[in-house]
Amino acid sequence: MKSTLLALLFLFTNILLQVDSFAKPIDLRCEYLHNPLGVDVSAPRFTWRLDDVRRGAAQSAYQIWVGIDSMGLLQGKGLAWTSGKILSSQTLVAYAGKPLPAFSKFYWAVAAWGSDGQRSVSTTAHFETGVMYASNWKGAWISDTRDVKIKPAPYFRKTFDTAKKVKSARAYIAVAGLYELSINGQIIGNHRLDPMYTRFDRRTLYVTHDVTTQLQQGKNAIGVLLGNGWYNHQSTAVWYFHEAPWRSRPTFCLDLRITYTDGSVETISSGKDWKTALSPVIFNSIYTAEHYDARLEQTGWNLPEFDDAKWKTVTYRAAPSTNIVSQLMHPIRNVEEIEVKKMSKINDTTYLFDLGRNISGVSSLRVRGEAGTAIRLRHTERLNEQGRADMSNIDVHYRPIDNSDPFQTDIFILKGRGEETFMPRFNYKGFQYVEVSFDHPVNLSASSLKGYFMHTDLPQLGQVNSSNPTLDKIWWATNNAYLSNLFGYPTDCPQREKNGWTGDAHIASETGLYNYDGITVYEKWLADHRDEQQPNGVLPSIIPTSGWGYEWGNGPDWTSTIAIIPWNIYLFYGDAKLLSDCYDNIKRYVDAITAQSTDGLTTWGLGDWVPVKSKAPVELTSSIYYFVDATILAKAAKLLKKPADYQKYSALAQKIQNAINAKYLNAETGMYGNGTQTELSAPLHWGLVPPILRAKVAANLAQRVKADNAHLDVGLLGTKTILNALSDNGYADLAYQIAAQEDFPSWGWWIKNGATTLFENWPIDAKSDISMNHIMFGEIGAWYYKALGGIKPDPAMPGFKNILLHPHFVEGLEAFNVRFKTPQGELVSSWKKTEEGIRYVLTVPPNSSATLRLDVQAGQTVSNKGQVWPSEAKNGFVKNLKSGNYELLIK
Ligand code: BGC
């Protein structure tokens, strides 16, 4: 009996396993999120992957169903749309059914047919539409005052009754500023710094929360605490955010939409019947810090029974913009809790905490002390010679008007009852050290303080490790710097500026996209670009902006974000939506550069920022970006079927290329300009060098690098190109030599000096431009994938439908492993030098293919699992691979 049962179980598991391996669609996402709420787009995008490890696994057809009946979907019950069976390997499909109503939950499922014709159906996923149309908002915009100078953050509350049984409830909250929402005393969600920063007067975001479980039968209370964020910038610095055209006292609009089990719907909204009072958050600045006076706490302020008789009535406000848009992206969170590595007592009133690594985020302090004790927490990235917290590298652009708002310094005043905890709600900082001082004796231990690494919480896609620990540390530090600079928009640094510097961001965008699932943030940030673009096509150098940045730093070397990022998203996701959304903006932008250029050349730009020593001519680097933009525009025109534009901008790209080469290229010697690293590598990397001269220019570059002792001599723009230009043109060993250096100037030099993030300047003792958490030199993070792992998207089949694979088994490195989750599934590219030869393990994800190229020496063979593979090309080793696992030996 027992054995029959076991046999049956075995059979059953086998059937299950078998069914599972048949092209089952998994990882169903809508708008690149799992089961999102608040979907407001008219044609939501659906994506999935195939769970199929068989060699050659591919999707031959799919069908998608979207409807309101989770059980009857496939039978066509309650259907909003079905695609019908479509013969296609595509796993990205936009909704094409009848218009979706607001506030509605939809279920969806996909069937995929494998290459063998077997059908396999996904489990059911869902999404929910949001407010959809401005006219659906019922709430009013409210606040406590108009006075931008008032410092304490305002509380708002309202009570209401639910007589019937609640089936589901959603809170839709649109805010100019920041908020913390609570229901019956419970803070809703684990997001931080919501909503994301936008140009509030052009686009204001709302967030959707599922609050079903927080509601109770009978009396309920909603509480809202509003923070200033970038909306009411009270601190003063050189970028004039305190004079932003949108600036005002924070305001919000809320609809709490309750569906009862009897099907009826009730909406509790923000309005005149809300009450307001000032909170214990006595000051908050996104830029500097937060001050909290626990003596002002009003226990139970967000509970139903709280007596709010002394609270004021609210005031109506105009909506900050007429464009209220759902925030559909991965939120900012306290992603990592970091223990203190070391604590030292400096004197009776001062302690120093060291997290052991540099982060963006906040600290949280747990403490007991007398009422009225004022505790100051100064957050810095470094220490001075006396071992005290040193701000001097990061407060340089801050222009305080008095000493009430010290930089990166939280102030916490104790109420004097038991253990008290403080963590800022509406601010973050860049720091490793926290110097805590107080005016009454307080006892602290290392566990009194914790650090929280905060950033946009993106799923990680890529993982790298190698036989070189420094290389691995650089990769980790690069990711730390990337994430430290991601708060719903990419920033330059989390301390000194928190500005959306365009140049830094496009340089780092590939690093971001190989390592993280960044599409939602980039789509949002490019919408910020569209909001900021002037009618004449010009963009500001920082986005969003208060108006600063139209006069300085906004040449094509920085603001080409408008073209480069949508193009990278297209390459990495195979999704042309962002490119299409930005098409007119790219065009206006390219036309704006044309208006500022002479005969195909432009000098508009900053050039190779923060160089080691040599600086390429600005005209060369800016004109190259002009060329890059015109080229992307021409390709986009072709893709989006705009033949006239395609012709016009292809011709423009050609004109720019000719102009650059006529002025800077010596066709005889294969030299650009003075032949510095950036002057040679930028034309190579961006495709300006005539094919016939590529080898010569590359050889010149290699020679230059050798003369520079295989060390960097570039600035921001050159870091993008130097490693790639070498490894793409036959000098991967030399590129690796640069990447693996451990003395000045190099990434490894920072690591050797204790860096856990990337710096803004190459010398560690530089006197200016010395933030210790900048992502701008972060291209190396992408280069690992491109050159060592050898993974590149194929522009002809984007989204890694076909993968261009060309790993370099560089001299000096024994092993390199990369795992990268493409939209189709996980790609593994992993090699190791052994006595028999190079072992190369490769997984091509299901439903994709790869074009493998290997640098094989004369006399060497390539075999897979013991079987010798002939090359499919005349020159070098090339093989087209189907999905599946390969174990190659190259000897
Ligand atoms: C920022 C940079 C930025 C640069 C522009 C700096 O202050 O921190 O990263 O790109 O200005 O010149």
Mutation probe of ligand 1 site: the residue of 499, 560, 719 with most atoms within 8 A of C-beta: 499
User: What is the percent of the chain with per-residue pLDDT over 70, rounded to a whole number?
Assistant: 98
Quote the ligand 1 centre to 687 CA distance (angstroms): 26
Residue 2: pLDDT over 60: no
**Is the CB–ligand 1 distance for residue 174 below 6 Å?**
no
Instruction: Please state the atom number of ligand 1 nearest to the C-alpha of residue 716.
Output: 10
pLDDT recorded at residue 858: 86
One-letter amino acid identity for 525? Answer: W
One-letter amino acid identity for 47? Answer: T
Q: Are 281 and 152 within 8 A, CB to CB?
A: yes
**Is the CB–ligand 1 distance for residue 609 below 6 Å?**
yes
Residue 18: pLDDT over 50: no
pLDDT recorded at residue 53: 85
Mean pLDDT over residues 165-177, rounded?
98
Q: Are 869 and 863 within 8 A, CB to CB?
A: yes
Mutation probe of ligand 1 site: the residue of 397, 608, 769, 771 with most atoms within 8 A of C-beta: 769
Q: Whose CA is nearest to atom 1 of ligand 1?
A: 492
Instruction: Please state the atom number of ligand 1 nearest to the C-alpha of residue 558.
Output: 10
Residue 442 tokens read as 């307080």
pLDDT recorded at residue 47: 98
Q: Whose CA is nearest to atom 4 of ligand 1?
A: 501
Dump pLDDT digits (tens) for 552-592. 999 999 999 999 999 999 999 999 999 999 999 999 999 99
**Is the CB–ligand 1 distance for residue 132 below 6 Å?**
no
Quote the ligand 1 centre to 774 CA distance (angstroms): 9
**Is the CB–ligand 1 distance for residue 492 below 6 Å?**
yes
Spatial CA neighbour of 561 closest among 630, 629, 631: 629
Quote the ligand 1 centre to 361 CA distance (angstroms): 21
Quote the ligand 1 centre to 633 CA distance (angstroms): 26
**Is the CB–ligand 1 distance for residue 505 below 6 Å?**
no
Q: Whose CA is nearest to atom 11 of ligand 1?
A: 501
Mean pLDDT over residues 38-45, rounded?
97
Dump pLDDT digits (tens) for 274-305. 999 999 999 999 999 999 999 999 999 999 99
Q: Whose CA is nearest to atom 8 of ligand 1?
A: 492
Dump pLDDT digits (tens) for 329-340. 999 999 999 999
Mutation probe of ligand 1 site: the residue of 489, 501, 775 with most atoms within 8 A of C-beta: 501
When pLDDT is cut at 50, 70 and 90, the band that residue 799 belongs to is: very high
Residue 19: pLDDT over 50: no
Transcribe 801-864 into DSSP letters.
TEEEE-----TT--EEEEEEEETTEEEEEEEEE-SSSEEEEEEEPTT-EEEEEE-PPTT--EEE
pLDDT recorded at residue 514: 98
Q: Whose CA is nearest to atom 12 of ligand 1?
A: 553
Instruction: Please state the atom number of ligand 1 nearest to the C-alpha of residue 776.
Output: 9
Dump pLDDT digits (tens) for 54-104. 899 999 999 999 999 999 999 999 999 999 999 999 999 999 999 999 999
* Beta-carbon contacts of residue 662 (< 8 Å; ≥ 6 apart): none
9: phi then psi, degrees, rounded to nearest 5: -60, -45
State the burial class of residue 92 (Cβ atoms within 10 Å of its Cβ: 0-12, 13-18, 19+): middle
Cα–Cα distance measured from residue 51 to residue 431, given in angstroms and rounded to the nearest whole number: 42
Residue 385: pLDDT over 70: yes
List 841's β-bridge partners, or say none.
830, 887
Instruction: Please state the atom number of ligand 1 nearest to the C-alpha of residue 496.
Output: 8
Residue written as tokens 């848009």?
Answer: 325
Q: Are 204 and 323 within 8 A, CB to CB?
A: yes
Dump pLDDT digits (tens) for 624-639. 999 999 999 999 999 9
Dump pLDDT digits (tens) for 227-271. 999 999 999 999 999 999 999 999 999 999 999 999 999 999 999
Mean pLDDT over residues 205-212, rounded?
98
Task: Give the DSSP H/E element, type plus range, for residue 271.
Answer: none
Q: What angle do CA 398, 243, 401 make, to 5 degrees?
A: 40
Residue 15: pLDDT over 90: no
Mutation probe of ligand 1 site: the residue of 484, 492, 493, 608 with most atoms within 8 A of C-beta: 492
Dump pLDDT digits (tens) for 464-482. 999 999 999 999 999 999 9
Mean pLDDT over residues 698-714, rounded?
98
When pLDDT is cut at 50, 70 and 90, the band that residue 4 belongs to is: low
**Is the CB–ligand 1 distance for residue 331 below 6 Å?**
no
**Is the CB–ligand 1 distance for residue 606 below 6 Å?**
yes
Quote the ligand 1 centre to 354 CA distance (angstroms): 27
User: What is the percent of the chain with per-residue pLDDT over 90, rounded to a whole number?
Assistant: 96
Instruction: Please state the atom number of ligand 1 nearest to the C-alpha of residue 503.
Output: 10
**Looking at residue 270, what DSSP letter applies?**
-
15: phi then psi, degrees, rounded to nearest 5: -60, -45
Quote the ligand 1 centre to 310 CA distance (angstroms): 48
**Is the CB–ligand 1 distance for residue 776 below 6 Å?**
yes
Residue 687 tokens read as 């495709």
Q: Whose CA is nearest to atom 2 of ligand 1?
A: 492
Instruction: Please state the atom number of ligand 1 nearest to the C-alpha of residue 397.
Output: 7
**Is the CB–ligand 1 distance for residue 156 below 6 Å?**
no
Residue 16: pLDDT over 80: no
Q: What angle do CA 590, 596, 600 make, to 5 degrees?
A: 70
Quote the ligand 1 centre to 541 CA distance (angstroms): 9
Q: Are 431 and 362 within 8 A, CB to CB?
A: no
Task: Give the DSSP H/E element, type plus range, for residue 578.
Answer: helix 577-595
pLDDT recorded at residue 823: 98
**Looking at residue 314, what DSSP letter applies?**
P
**Is the CB–ligand 1 distance for residue 514 below 6 Å?**
no
Quote the ligand 1 centre to 237 CA distance (angstroms): 15
pLDDT recorded at residue 875: 84
Residue 14: pLDDT over 70: no
Cα–Cα distance measured from residue 552 to residue 541, given in angstroms and rounded to the nearest whole number: 7
